[in-house]
Structure 1
Amino acid sequence: MTESASLEEQVGIKGHNLTFAGVGGIIKLLPEDFLVHEILPNGEILYTGDEIGKDVGGMYVHFVLWKRGLDTNSALKRISKLCHHNEKDFGYAGLKDAHAETIQRISVWSGQKECLGDINLPNLKILNPIRQKFGISIGDLVGNRFQVRIRNTQRNVNHSEWKTVCSESESNGFLNFYGLQRFGSKRPILHKFGRYLLQEKYSLAIDSYLGTESKFENEKISSLRKMYVKKESLAEIYALFPYTYSFERRMLSGLMKRSSPEKIIRSFPIYFLRLAISAYQSFIFNKLLSKLHTKRYELLSQLRLPIIGYSTNMSTLPLEIKSLLQDFLAFDNLNLKSFNHEIKKLSSKGTERAAIVKPSDVKITSNLAKNDDVQIHFSLPKGSYGTMFLREVI
């Protein structure tokens, strides 16, 4: 089993929908190997920034954010410091991956247009700031256009076979899993943290976040996690954790002050705690989709599967799906009421998600000068992960 496959199984991902044998190789060796362009509600793809329109006045500033090697929240945090904005005043249609080069539309309430327009950093640029009368919210996009380089492929594929891959993927689609970045690409534990939140076991949530190691982290960080598990000096561990590990440092600071685990958890930004709950819901979705695909469940391509929450109506679900969900929750000592959380802002009613998604406008080319490189272009609807389509090709 490859390392990536092992990580995928940890978050419930198993199986493939395409018959293609795969070419092997790696993605995201460099951020510029993975380009993501947001597709606006009118269907236009963001490239230059002019696509968002003209200044019409209003209390919001819209702009196009180009970033490289940063996640969306980190980029907005930096912008907020540069232009003295409150982070809560920013709006976006969706989060974009860190290890990529991405371009997306952002809004900010009462924004300083001139300051924003001056931001031009090596890994962060703002294009075409304009005034508008409305803010941008999650889901205010059609989808994303991807341009990806697959390096070090392990077998040559001729033009005819690539053509078949394009047509099969557009007609049959791929398993619409939540990607690793939903759970933590290098250390996929956010769903476990979320499970402990739902169980209201806050001490275990803290222990899991601080103490769980990953071989994809550097040795220094792994050694600090070992020290925590061995119950060594909290002050020493705190002093050695880099400032960029702000959540670990916040937990350690709370523990040193002898704050209750619940108080420590409640001190965290709501967006982070919600992400953890969402990661657990995504984990259950992935497990359900994997199980149904393994069993060759009929009409899977036409199904929208539940993302479990307190409003999920089990009585309307097919018996097999209902049974699987109940088993998954029972294994974790949870039920639907668990999603109606004591911290009200963490409550989640649930929703649904397509089991299979079909990419559009798929184009694949091999680099003739370097025949172990492949370029692939494709578009996906909002909420679907480019990496989950690419795993079917690789």
Structure 2
Amino acid sequence: MPEIDRMAGMECYCTDFAGTGGSIKQKSEGFRVSELVDDSLLAGISPAFGGAHRYPLYVLEKEGVDSNHALMEIERVHRLRLRVMGIKDAKAATTQYAGASHAWKDPPKRLETQHTLLSLKGFTKKPIGRESLAGNEFEITIHGAGSSIGGFAREAGKIANFYGLQRFGSERMVTHLAGREIVKRNFAGAVRLLLCYTTEYDSESSREIRKKCEDPANYRRALKEMPRGMDIERQLLAALADGKEPVAALRAIPITIRRLFVQAYQSFLFNRCLSLAIAQGHDVTSPEEGDLCFEMEGPFTFGRVMKFSASGKQMVPAVRMAGYTFQPGKGRFETITKGLLEQEGVAARDFYIKEMQELSQQGGFRQAPLWCRDLAFSQNPLRVSFKLPKGSYATTLLRELIKPEDPIAAGF
């Protein structure tokens, strides 16, 4: 088991498949992602502004930048502030929807930046929200795959719905660590981690800059030397160099990115919960007596959460996420999460962060199994296509398929 997987709380595999080996994301076009949206969104689009149809909706195509940074780039270049329904990875060619939160009669029909292309789709009756996103469709090339995939399809239904390494910063693996310190009210510690934390994947120059950031006397010098790509660190350093306290410095980071810190810590606890459940011999893909479950309402529509019952409807095990509304019941996942919080020295109420209320996290539910549909393969080179509901990670399935010895070198 790669150590970096353990650092993200993924402490086991779910399949006995030996793994194909190989790598992904050698080129963006080899990792294609397209959003699947609720039919009502597309049916409700008008080609022209008028009446209730007042909010422009764009198709956003991007490469080489994640969705948050794509939006920042668009705003910087075109002074156009947009929102998206889901966050897409930088190392992919992605197609998603982006909309304005205000009425706009004559928006530009086509816009470009270095990494993005925007094409006006039409106008909606209200700004887009995450509720309209159903899932994502993937088409991925695996380079250098060395073994047959014949047995994998039979085991694909066993996979737990782990959060992938991207949730935690990939090779840096710092996002959830900063989130933990924020939940524990150690804001200075969160700042220090974001600036100074290094891993084996850091370059020598990165290590030198982060070493300088350990001493406040070096802040202005480090800011001058820090590459533009380290934008979060630059925002923090600029605030600290101006004499701001840790909370104010953290608020220099855009809120869409800042919220990921505490969310990543929740994700770490979720991954550890599933790992421990599997280690204890539980089948996390099938409901058991005492479980909370989603009642399925469609291929990717997870309905209300209710206690498991043999009602005849399809039910999917649900994990109650850590958050300020977390109340442990007697279910297996809740029992494990309660124990994890005790180990971490964190109480549910700590996720309500009065010093930074915008980062507070209520909790909620997430499905325990990876709900994969339409899995298909082609060979020479190996290509895999499939659909996942929103919030699930393609790399979680690919991790089980490839079984990489070094996930970062393999493109994860």
On whether the aligned pair clears a TM of 0.5, the verdict is yes
Matched, 1:37 2:34: yes
Report the TM-score, using the length of structure 1 for normalisation. Answer: 0.86
Aligned CA RMSD, in angstroms, stands at 2.4
Deviates more, 1:208-217 or 1:276-285: 208-217
Aligned length: 369
Report the equivalent of 1:339.
Answer: 351
Q: Secondary structure at the match of 1:36?
A: strand
Is the contact made by 1:145 and 1:378 (CA closer than 8 Å) also made in structure 2? yes
Q: How far is the alpha carbon of 1:59 from its aligned partner?
A: 2.3
Of residues 210, 219, 233, the one that matches 2:204 is: 219
Report the equivalent of 2:76.
Answer: 81
Q: How far is the alpha carbon of 1:119 from its aligned partner?
A: 1.6
Report the equivalent of 2:322.
Answer: 308
Whole-angstrom CA distance in 2 between matches of 1:67 and 1:217: 26
Report the equivalent of 2:164.
Answer: 179
- Please identify which structure carries the higher helix content: 1
Is the contact made by 1:362 and 1:377 (CA closer than 8 Å) also made in structure 2? yes
Report the equivalent of 1:210.
Answer: 195
Q: How far is the alpha carbon of 1:110 from its aligned partner?
A: 4.0
How many percent identity over aligned positions?
Answer: 28
Report the equivalent of 1:165.
Answer: 152
Q: Secondary structure at the match of 1:296?
A: coil
Whole-angstrom CA distance in 2 between matches of 1:196 and 1:252: 18
Q: How far is the alpha carbon of 1:94 from its aligned partner?
A: 0.7
Report the TM-score, using the length of structure 2 for normalisation. Answer: 0.83
Of residues 77, 98, 108, the one that matches 2:90 is: 98
Whole-angstrom CA distance in 1 between matches of 2:345 and 2:227: 35
Q: How far is the alpha carbon of 1:243 from its aligned partner?
A: 2.7
Report the equivalent of 2:214.
Answer: 229
Matched, 1:130 2:122: yes
Question: Which residue identity is paired with 1:375?
Answer: R
Report the equivalent of 1:12.
Answer: 9
Q: How far is the alpha carbon of 1:214 from its aligned partner?
A: 2.6
Whole-angstrom CA distance in 1 between matches of 2:363 and 2:337: 13
- Within-5 A mapping of 1:198-347: 198-229=183-214, 233-298=218-283, 300-302=285-287, 303-314=317-328, 316-318=329-331, 320-342=332-354, 343-347=356-360
Question: Structure 2 vs 1, CA of residues 73 and 113 (structure 1 numbering), >3 Å: closer, same or farther?
Answer: farther
Whole-angstrom CA distance in 1 between matches of 2:119 and 2:235: 34
Q: How far is the alpha carbon of 1:202 from its aligned partner?
A: 1.0
Whole-angstrom CA distance in 2 between matches of 1:357 and 1:254: 41
Is the contact made by 1:17 and 1:173 (CA closer than 8 Å) also made in structure 2? yes
Is the contact made by 1:224 and 1:237 (CA closer than 8 Å) also made in structure 2? yes
Is the contact made by 1:116 and 1:126 (CA closer than 8 Å) also made in structure 2? no
Q: How far is the alpha carbon of 1:232 from its aligned partner?
A: 6.1
Is the contact made by 1:55 and 1:132 (CA closer than 8 Å) also made in structure 2? no
Report the equivalent of 1:353.
Answer: 366
Of residues 138, 147, 150, the one that matches 1:156 is: 147
Residue deviations 1:58-85 (CA, integer Å, cap 9, x gap): 3210011111111111111222233322
Q: Secondary structure at the match of 2:195?
A: helix
Whole-angstrom CA distance in 1 between matches of 2:401 and 2:40: 26
Is the contact made by 1:194 and 1:273 (CA closer than 8 Å) also made in structure 2? no
Residue deviations 1:316-375 (CA, integer Å, cap 9, x gap): 232x544432332233321011011112222211011111123111111111xxxxx310
Whole-angstrom CA distance in 2 between matches of 1:203 and 1:299: 38
Is the contact made by 1:149 and 1:375 (CA closer than 8 Å) also made in structure 2? yes
Matched, 1:192 2:177: yes
Is the contact made by 2:319 and 2:334 (CA closer than 8 Å) also made in structure 1? no
Whole-angstrom CA distance in 2 between matches of 1:113 and 1:225: 47
Q: Secondary structure at the match of 1:129?
A: strand
Is the contact made by 1:113 and 1:130 (CA closer than 8 Å) also made in structure 2? no
Residue deviations 1:274-313 (CA, integer Å, cap 9, x gap): 2111000000000110111121115643321111111112
In structure 1, the gaps of 5 or more residues are 45-49, 368-372
Matched, 1:55 2:47: yes
Is the contact made by 1:187 and 1:213 (CA closer than 8 Å) also made in structure 2? yes
Question: Structure 2 vs 1, CA of residues 113 and 146 (structure 1 numbering), >3 Å: closer, same or farther?
Answer: farther
Whole-angstrom CA distance in 2 between matches of 1:51 and 1:321: 39
Residue deviations 1:35-59 (CA, integer Å, cap 9, x gap): 0011111299xxxxx9985415232
Question: Structure 2 vs 1, CA of residues 31 and 43 (structure 1 numbering), >3 Å: closer, same or farther?
Answer: farther
Question: Which residue identity is paired with 1:335?
Answer: A
Whole-angstrom CA distance in 2 between matches of 1:199 and 1:231: 23
Deviates more, 1:119-128 or 1:334-343: 119-128
- Within-5 A mapping of 1:66-77: 66-77=61-72
